Amino acid sequence: MECRAIWAAQSLEVRQQGGRPTILGRFPYKALAVLADRGTVRKETILPGAFDFTLKDPDREVNLLVGHSFDRPLASKRSNTMEFNDTEDFLEFIATIPEGAERATHVTDALAMVGAGLIKGVSPGFRVPPKDVVPDAERLVPEPGNPGVMIRELSALLLYELSLVTRPAYEASEAELRAVGCANICTKPQRIILP
């Protein structure tokens, strides 16, 4: 089953690193997402280590995209323009925009929209492995304090992309923009705190 839930970025920022525009973001683990699909509402959480299989395999590709669109790439793991720091609390990514790519309209737009606070979330594109391969990749657990509601816990996933999105599933998010050295994006450092 393919899932494209929209999760808030714990932190999402654009800055200059080594002369290149760089997007930094954090995807929180153990956070609860409320997903609506055709009138059905469900709750879901991704546990620490869920992306281990993909992150530890050097041949597995992970792309950073705008809005789940593979024709709007920003960076990728196999092109060495995307790095990860996986902790117990979050998956952090550091995506360096490749030389020349900042001239592409979708890249310029993405950098500007992150800076303006219009893009403030991260949505992982992943698949749950088959039960015969990983039997406990997902399970249902009762919501604390509300045992009639079940939460889907995801502990082993095949991550294939992270997307910058406009509507995070969580109410609180923080984004930060620092001078990126790209024309018409930002003239001075600014900090944007979102509700």
Contacts of 76 (CB under 8 A, 6+ apart): 61, 62, 63, 64, 82
Q: Which residue has the tokens 């992943």?
A: 126
Average pLDDT, the chain: 79
Going from N- to C-terminal start, the domains of the chain cover 2-194
Q: Which amino acid is located at 104 in the chain?
A: A
Greatest CA span in the chain, whole angstroms? 54
pLDDT tens, 128-173? Answer: 999 999 999 999 999 888 888 889 999 999 999 998 988 755 333 3
pLDDT tens, 42-88? Answer: 888 999 999 999 999 999 999 999 989 999 999 999 999 999 999 99
- C-alpha count within 13 angstroms, C-beta hemisphere, residue 86: 11
CA distance 177 to 115: 5
Query: pTM higher than 0.85, yes or no?
Result: no
Contact at 8 Å (CB) between 17 and 75? Answer: no
